[in-house]
Structure 1
Amino acid sequence: MTTPTTTQELQVCRIKFPEIQLQTRDAHKLRGYFGNLFKQQSPILHNHYEDGRLRYKYPSVQYKVINKTPTLVGINEGAALLPQLFLKIQELDISGKSYPISSKNVEMRNERTGYSDQLHEYRFETLWMALNQKNYPKYQNLKTEAEKEAMLNA
């Protein structure tokens, strides 16, 4: 593997709750639970600004269920925020069911990203959907690629 020609280093924090088993489709319930629990802390936790506008950026905090394990992933500013908030969590409430938490697996690391002359194989564990049914038509009606990129980065 060669060193990428243009690189960026990202700080990544992963918090896993290994004693809890959920279905992959429950990831949005994690987002809803933590988004409500910490709604006053930061818009990066739920991608809504205080005035109700949506934050159209790649999520700095992601809520996933990987191999049935609830997993939170923070990138850069999200990586700094996750340990401050989520290490205090003692239970999860998903769909009215309470899951006590006695252990958390926390991993902090720096990841290099960028362009490479080599081919790399990737596998997506979960999908990211930047647009929903309501904002997709707005995105489609934008005239230029610059406008579309600006909407996704707003």
Structure 2
Amino acid sequence: MKLNICRLELLNIKMKPRDSEKIRGYLGHKYEELDILHNHKNNKFIYRYPKVQYKIINNKPIILGINDGANIITNIGINDDMLIIGDKSINTFEKKISINNNEYGISADYIKYEFLSPWVALNQKNIDIYRNCSDMEKEEMLKKILIGNIISMSKGLNYTVSDEVKCWVNLKKVDVNIKNIKHTGFMGEFKVNFSIPDYLGLGKNVSKGFGTIKKCR
């Protein structure tokens, strides 16, 4: 399966990881009628894999549009030259727009990826279970969650996973702060028999830039 992806990179400004949510808030308010930008409808959250994702990678703002989100992000890249973050107006005239068809789905070979931002894998239900596991049990638990994330993402992208997904992980625990609440995140590498385009996100808070991955080359 091919995914149509637009990657909009803002080249002339530097931001901190938490600013991704501010960019999302600005564009979501400006284009309130486009729920794909903010995943809300009638003040209710829409539970789906985000087709638009906001990221800060190495201090560089990146907005990713997937399939029906790709054209919207392309148009924003072409037509918008300003961000308003808080009380600051930021010119975004220097940018790079990349549009590609990317392979997605089960692969005959294992592919190695790295997390560019923390993967938020655990929730309130399983964090205590994880803490009480042995190291081997923790690894197996993370592998199952990662596979589950890939299957869930695939459902959101209308891809049927027809074969068994297998993975290997090499991850370290990191602290993550989301809306002033501490979470457990993970950084590191994993291998999986699945092709995923660069900069897509896995896990929780994907739209805000968490769980962003890239192939290791």
TM-score class, shorter: 0.7 to 0.9
Q: CA offset at residue 111 of structure 1?
A: 0.5
Of 71, 75, 80, which residue of structure 1 is paired with 2:66? 75
Q: Describe how 1:66-145 pairs up with structure 2 within 5 A.
A: 66-127=57-118
Greater relative contact order, per chain length (Cα 8 Å cut-off, separation 6+): 1
Q: Cα deviation per residue 1:73-129 (whole Å; 9 max; x = unaligned)?
A: 000000021122332112112232221122220000000011113111111223576
- What's the C-alpha RMSD, in Å, of the aligned pairs? 2.6
1:26 has 2:9 as partner: no
Q: Alignment identity in percent?
A: 35
- The structure with the greater share of residues assigned to strand is 2
CA contact (8 A) 1:48 1:54 kept: yes
Task: Tell me which residue corresponds to 1:142.
Answer: none
- SS of corresponding position for 1:87: helix
- After superposition, residues 31-70 of structure 1 pair within 5 angstroms as 31-40=24-33, 42-49=34-41, 51-70=42-61
Runs of at least 5 residues in structure 1 that lack an aligned partner in the other structure: 1-7, 137-148
Give the match for residue 5 of structure 1.
none
Runs (5+) with no aligned partner, structure 2: 126-151, 157-217
Residue pair 2:77, 2:97 contacting (<8 A) in 1 also:
no
- TM-score using structure 2 length: 0.53
Instruction: Give the structure-1-normalised TM-score.
Output: 0.73
Distance in 2 (alpha carbons) for counterparts of 1:28 and 1:128:
16
